[in-house]
Amino acid sequence: MKKLMIINGPNLNLLGKREPEIYGSLSFTEFLDEVKNKYKNVSISHFQSNIEGELIDKLHEVGFEYDGIILNAAAYTHTSVGIGDAVAAIQTPVVEVHISNTFDREEFRHQSYVAPHTKGVIVGFGLQSYELAIQSFLG
């Protein structure tokens, strides 16, 4: 069974409540339950933190063991050399995801310190971005 880990960065614990016009009204737990139900032959774990160093620690912890990491580093995507370096340092392939189309938003969201070290980037499909990332690790 493939082992995938979803890592969510700051403020994503508020999904469903936070700016629903941008991020939708479904909580991540509700979404994850649906996805786990749909992909029963895949082990899908989830970790969320608002703290940069905890995200880096989690990347180190799973990055030599899991088959794939789906990373939404949220605002840290645009600021964190440390998270970019962590993604470069580990062996597990990482797919970067964003719920909103970051290229259709403020210019500071166009920059990613993570993307150059990833297998690929999925942007702007709402929570479906995560499902597309899961599919990218299957087959």
Annotated catalytic residues are 23, 98
CA-wise closest residue to 94 among 114, 65, 74: 114
Choice between 48 and 77, CB closer to ligand DQA: 77
Return the structure tokens found at 10.
């700051």
Rounded to a whole number, what is the largest CA-CA distance in the chain? 40
Q: Which residues bind ligand DQA (CB under 6 A)?
A: 11, 72, 74-75, 77, 98-100, 102, 109
Specify the residue, 98 or 117, whose C-beta has the smaller distance to ligand DQA.
98
Min dist CB 99 to ligand DQA, Å, is: 4
Q: Residue 13 or 43: which CB sits closer to ligand DQA?
A: 13
Q: Least separation, in Å, of the C-beta of 39 and ligand DQA?
A: 20
Shortest distance in whole angstroms from residue 40 CB to ligand DQA: 26
Q: Mapped to the 3 state alphabet, what secondary structure does 29-52 carry? A: HHHHHHHHHHCCCEEEEEEECCCH
- Does residue 72 sit in helix, strand or coil? strand
Query: Which of 131, 130, 125, 126 has the alpha carbon at shortest distance from 26?
Result: 126
